[in-house]
Chains A and B, each alone.
Chain A
């Protein structure tokens, strides 16, 4: 048993001087095309966002009516290539998703590798913004405070035999409450009256318990069935409810909590909680900084966010084989210590948990300046906590002042931009586009098609591939194909 393969896709908020929502699609396409690295294009043949884990294909996906208006008025690039995909040398994908630059990490097994790869995306985009010469700001967040939300999605690859129902049963309660330990915090609420501050960026934008949609009527458990691998063998659990955490520890905790739930599902452990209304629980938990709000259970009893997290951590530490994912067990202990710290060492809690650090700043601002909590001015400061420019970001300021945990410096993120940190199939994808881009006919998560002297060859990269170290010495596509074949990767001639 190896750690679960995972990835994170982050849609960034982007504010370009003089460009409104209807101009963003074309402007972001230009921005993505300015990326100085990688190969243009993406192979969409294995993608179908309407495919549902429940065994059917939806007729259509729900669309935000407000966005439909923007859609009708939107400018698009002259060549029509709205997405403007790039495959990067680290195996990541960069593209334009509905007017947001989106960076999707390479597949990682290690939680640390995934967090570094994810944060490296912010570094790349910040450098591109600086190089553009345009007045723009990039935000690693999920809200514009005017009703629009954009996502941060996690992907976890499990054997299909685990079953989506079991994954959902373990995951839904955790997704509803994990914000207590990894929420990014948000000033204000959407869609009606609410508290001036809440724990997560995304909770207000979910209305369904389960479903295939992602743009509108978002579900807590997303059933999009795109495994990016043999669908008979693999199932990708696509989590769309998480925050775009700007800090390392929060990203790690977000992933570790989801992985722990899915590993317990994989083992067939009995589910301790079935929530009566997971969507309401998500919203209620997000609006309760005590972690002690009442969460109704399906059996008529009730519990609290902290109890759910405590039970998850206790079960994971007691039941999971520590050799399966030792790093995950470390994060489980860390999460447990943070739960304890909430009451016993609140200084530590606020130095590590994003929402708690923000909340202190906003409370102090209110106290010292008289500006009320939840004001548009506080929302402007809230944005600054998510600014991708490290010289403006407020978490970085707290770090410098000794009030927040140390964050990875640019030098620590550089390696994650240069190549995949883990020896997964992403190594083959990244190496191909870096070493011989002119010979790559197409690439996606699952396959790389290369033009050899004997014609095009498609390499079907299995997700459990351990990238052969000999790939590092490859200088041509023939060598690339030969080494993959020797590693057992199906490589077939294609038209």
Chain B
């Protein structure tokens, strides 16, 4: 049983890594599609979200089977139960990359406009957070998980900068208000991606320690 369980854990980790790679790619592509006004790429991201959803269901079912058949305890129980939580965050990140792409398609059809450089900085930072939080989860690296949580403050700061920039844009040129709101929504999606990466990092810490947000829950 132990050998079979260990093989199943490896398979679970591989599938989780594959899902995480899709999600990371979606964020990078969403940022590129926005910058390059690439409608085709944006459409591909929206389509790729179905693959992310399908992997979510696959991993969820795998975890439930492990719970059913192996009755894991201690670190194994924490790990499997936290994967079930992490999945939700990963799936939401995929949704948000698709949502950003939907707006990108609309923006691409408008005349060329000046992008806020901070949007791409947020995209870059959140993509790194997602890569790191999944690495921290799979490699059981608490320090890396804590670094991800720390990085979220920078994402929040950037969101505030963008918000101020957009308000100024609306005040100085009311004609661009629609465009400004679209940018604000995109920034908000990246800010939420940062929150989801933080959640994943918190579950990575829980999987090792049983402590979630400084509270022992098991």
Co-complex (A, B): no
| A residues apposed to B, CB below 8 Å | none
| B residues apposed to A, CB below 8 Å | none
